[in-house]
């Protein structure tokens, strides 16, 4: 969606007055005045000057489904919102009055292209659950299976698009007139909302998520994933198996069914660990309504509209983080953070960050879920995020939110388990099963394919280069540098070798001359006992003397160069 210009007249401009009345009603009149340009912009406003989070929540609830969804998204942004805002926005309830069944029937028949009676033996006109995006009805197929039918509310996509136009308009104004808007990045929040909300409107995406969970948990007996009936599933309709059971927060009903609530909590924790460190996809909305305890003791996950995805590298980093915390190895935790790009050695006080991390973590070791509030850990973690200006990617923020919900379910069930202890074996298995080796071989294959593609293009590239050289489009110039010193050394060595050969030749020649039997021009002398001396002898002696002097000079020069 294109960002609407501030000065452009919007189709939803008639709603501006209604929005202003809602803001004024909830004590946010100053915000309304500043949005319309009548208020004074205050830059760098302190925390005390920010709007009251409870009033923001109530205003979003009254503004309608799209704004509720936006508020829910903001509640996951603990990296940029203060904790009190996150806590308050997490209370937003996505419950709205159901659409009349006649409208739901029209959607089903249009999507499936056949009458309702041709598909269902019976369908309840009263909805099981109704939210802003979709509502669910219980039904029975012609073949006898009980199913849950999830239907997108008619006209919701048009309503969302109109609301998005207003959201972009207000986001631009909020960033311009409020320091809080600039801190949050209001426009980017709306962009993120737009990217996620339309995924929830596509039931085929949710059906695909269910299939992935079914495959990942096929061999896990304690978890059950409902079946998708693809024949009756379309973009706005999802038909899946109806799950009989008890919502996970109804602890007394679970006990009356002869099921131990603490065992149910362990199943939930093990399921979450598998999702993080085996599957690479996790159920990101595990509230009690989406987690059903079946009467045989198994736990079923339903409603896969919101899921998170983890790649192989992120899974490994999460495993290192869990293992590091479980074994008090903060160097391992720091290495995992650095590998994930969350901390930077050149811009952060790493020793201070490590010490702060240890101080908030040590008090929680060995304690059960009953004595730990993951939300407290989350709040303290977010304070570190604020302090060291760490930017968290969306999938990790979604993961933190899921942690809080999983911990809340565990506490409701009275779990004595330690989250770190439950997770530790899964982290070890992930690291021990050779994920790094698999990744290396996978990367080698990818690089080999890339090299192959480059080699295939090499002949054409060389042809183009030589063609341009031949036609004068390019010139080929070769330069060398740094060879002067090597050339000088080579020349010195060659000179020494030459002198050595001259010395050897002089010695040989002198020896031959001195040993000849014929003498030329003898002289009679009386010197050092020598009576006669010839020119032949003089030449031989001169050769020996010259060779000796050259030899001595060569030896001295080599010794002085220290390169014997």
Give residue-wise pLDDT tens across range 182-221. Answer: 766 778 778 878 888 888 889 999 999 999 999 989 989 9
Residue 38 has pLDDT above 60, yes or no: no
Q: Which two tokens stand for residue 60?
A: 């979003």
Annotated active-site residue in 244, 285, 356, 464: 285
Q: How many angstroms from the chain centroid is the CA of residue 178?
A: 30
Q: Enter the pTM of the model.
A: 0.64
| Measured torsion, CA atoms of residues 232, 237, 241, 244, in degrees rounded to the nearest 10 | -150
Instruction: Please state, rounded to an integer, the average pLDDT across all residues of the chain.
Output: 76
HSE (CB half, 13 Å, CA atoms) of 175?
Answer: 14
The per-residue pLDDT for range 230-282, each reduced to its tens digit, is 999 999 999 999 999 998 888 999 999 999 998 998 898 888 888 888 888 88
Query: Which helix (H) or strand (E) segment is 524 a member of?
Result: strand 522-527
- Enter the DSSP assignment of 275: I
Instruction: For residue 560, give every residue at least 6 positions away whose Cβ sits within 8 Å of its Cβ, in sequence order, or none.
Output: none
Gap between the terminal Cα atoms of the chain? 78
pLDDT for res 3: 47
User: Is it the case that residue 345 has pLDDT exceeding 50?
Assistant: yes
439 pLDDT band, cuts 50/70/90, is: low
Long-range Cβ contacts of 6-13 (<8 Å, 24+ apart): 6/169, 6/172, 6/173, 6/176, 10/165, 10/166, 10/169, 11/162, 11/165, 12/162, 12/163, 12/165, 12/166
**pLDDT > 90? residue 384:** no
Pick 50 or 344 by higher pLDDT.
344
Instruction: Say what the pLDDT of residue 282 is.
Output: 86
Instruction: Supply the angle between the helices 330-339 and 350-361 in degrees, to the nearest 10.
Output: 120
Whether the pLDDT of residue 1 is over 60: the answer is no
CA angle 172, 178, 183 (to 5 degrees): 85
In the chain, % of residues over pLDDT 90: 20
Give me the mean pLDDT over the 411-434 stretch. 75
What is residue 137's predicted lDDT score, i.e. its pLDDT?
A: 96
C-alpha span between 254 and 409 (Å, rounded): 13
Q: Please compute, for residue 453, the number of CA atoms within 13 A of its CA located in the half-sphere on the CB side.
A: 5
pLDDT of residue 367: 59
Q: Is the alpha carbon torsion for 30, 34, 37, 39 positive or negative?
A: positive
In 129-248, the DSSP E strands lie at 129-130, 134-141, 146-152, 223-224, 237-241, 246-247
Residue 519 has pLDDT above 50, yes or no: yes
**Strand ranges (E), 285-358:** 291-293, 299-301, 307-309
Q: How many CA atoms lie within 13 A of 292 on its CB side?
A: 17
Per-residue confidence (pLDDT) for residue 4, from 0 to 100 = 47
Which token pair is 290?
Answer: 């989406």
Helix (H, G, I), strand (E, B) or coil at 564: coil
Residue 506 CB: number of other CB atoms within 10 A? 19
CA dist 9 and 431 (Å) reads 57
Q: Is the pLDDT of residue 171 over 50?
A: yes
Contact 320, 332 (CB under 8 A): yes
Which residues, listed in sequence order, are joined to residue 307 by a DSSP beta bridge? Answer: 283
What is the mean predicted confidence (pLDDT) over 283-300? 87
pLDDT at 48: 40
Sign of CA dihedral 27, 33, 36, 41: negative
Provide mean pLDDT across the span 405-425: 75
Tell me which of 412 and 123 has the higher pLDDT: 123
E-strand spans in 81-216?
A: 120-123, 129-130, 134-141, 146-152
Model pLDDT, residue 353:
82
Residue in this structure with the two tokens 């999507």, named with its chain if needed: 111
74-129 pLDDT, tens digit per residue, is 776 665 677 777 778 877 766 678 899 999 999 999 999 999 999 999 999 999 88
pLDDT confidence band for 145 (50 / 70 / 90) = very high
Percent of the residues in the chain that have a pLDDT greater than 70, as a whole number? 68
Find tokens 């000057």 and name the residue: 49
Model pLDDT, residue 9: 42
Q: List the structure tokens of 41.
A: 């912009």
Q: How far apart are CA 306 and CA 235, in angstroms?
A: 16
Q: Pick from 35, 69, 72: which is nearest to 51 by CA?
A: 35
pLDDT of residue 243: 94
Whether residue 285 lies in the annotated active site:
yes
Tell me if 209 sits within 8 A of 307, measured CB to CB: yes
């Amino acid at each position: 969606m294109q960002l609407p210009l501030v000065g452009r007249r919007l189709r939803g401009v008639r709603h501006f007055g209604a929005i202003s009345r809602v803001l004024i009603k909830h004590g946010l009149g100053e915000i309304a005045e500043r949005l319309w340009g009548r208020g004074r912009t205050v830059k760098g406003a302190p925390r005390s000057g920010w709007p009251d989070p409870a009033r923001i929540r109530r205003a979003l609830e009254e503004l309608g489904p799209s704004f509720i969804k936006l508020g829910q998204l903001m509640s996951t942004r603990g990296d940029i919102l203060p904790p009190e805002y996150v806590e308050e926005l997490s209370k937003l309830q996505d419950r709205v009055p159901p659409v009349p069944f006649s409208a739901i029937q029209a959607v089903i028949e249009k999507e499936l292209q056949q009458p309702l009676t041709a598909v269902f033996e019976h369908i309840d006109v009263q909805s099981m659950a109704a939210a802003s995006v979709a509502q669910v009805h219980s039904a029975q197929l012609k073949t006898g299976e009980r199913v849950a039918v999830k239907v997108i509310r008619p006209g919701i996509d048009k309503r969302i698009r109109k609301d998005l136009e207003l959201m972009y308009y207000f986001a631009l104004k909020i960033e311009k007139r409020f320091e809080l808007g600039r801190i949050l990045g209001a426009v980017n929040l709306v962009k993120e909302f737009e990217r996620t909300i339309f995924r929830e409107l596509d039931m085929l995406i949710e059906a695909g998520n269910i299939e992935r969970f079914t495959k990942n948990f096929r061999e896990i007996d304690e978890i059950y994933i409902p079946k998708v009936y693809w024949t009756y599933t379309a973009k706005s309709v999802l038909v899946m198996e109806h799950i009989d059971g008890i919502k996970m927060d109804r602890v007394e009903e679970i006990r009356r069914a002869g099921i131990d609530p603490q065992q149910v909590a362990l199943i939930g924790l093990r399921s979450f660990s598998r999702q993080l460190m085996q599957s690479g996809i996790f159920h990101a909305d595990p509230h009690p309504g989406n987690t059903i305890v079946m009467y045989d003791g198994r736990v079923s996950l339903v409603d896969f509209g919101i899921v998170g995805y983890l790649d192989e590298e992120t899974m490994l980093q999460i495993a290192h983080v869990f293992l590091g915390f479980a074994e008090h190895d903060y160097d391992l935790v720091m290495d995992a953070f650095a590998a994930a790009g969350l901390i930077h050695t050149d811009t952060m006080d790493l020793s201070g960050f490590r010490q702060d991390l240890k101080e908030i973590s040590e008090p929680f070791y060995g304690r059960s879920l009953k004595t730990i509030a993951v939300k407290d850990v989350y709040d303290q973690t977010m304070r570190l995020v604020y302090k060291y200006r760490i930017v968290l990617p969306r999938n990790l923020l979604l993961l933190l939110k899921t942690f809080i919900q999983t911990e809340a379910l565990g506490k409701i069930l009275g779990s004595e388990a330690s989250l770190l202890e439950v997770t530790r074996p899964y982290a070890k298995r992930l690291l021990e099963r050779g994920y790094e080796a698999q990744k290396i071989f996978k990367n080698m294959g990818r690089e080999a394919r890339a090299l192959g593609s480059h080699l295939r293009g090499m002949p054409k590239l060389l042809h183009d280069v030589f063609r341009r050289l031949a036609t004068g489009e390019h010139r080929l110039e070769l330069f060398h540098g740094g060879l002067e010193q090597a050339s000088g050394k080579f020349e010195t060595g060659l000179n020494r070798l030459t002198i050595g050969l001259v010395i050897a030749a002089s010695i040989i020649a002198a020896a031959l001359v001195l040993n000849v039997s014929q003498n030329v021009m003898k002289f009679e002398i009386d010197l050092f006992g020598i009576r006669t001396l010839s020119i032949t002898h003089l030449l031989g002696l001169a050769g020996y003397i010259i060779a000796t002097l050259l030899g001595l000079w060569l030896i001295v020069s080599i010794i002085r160069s220290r390169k014997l």
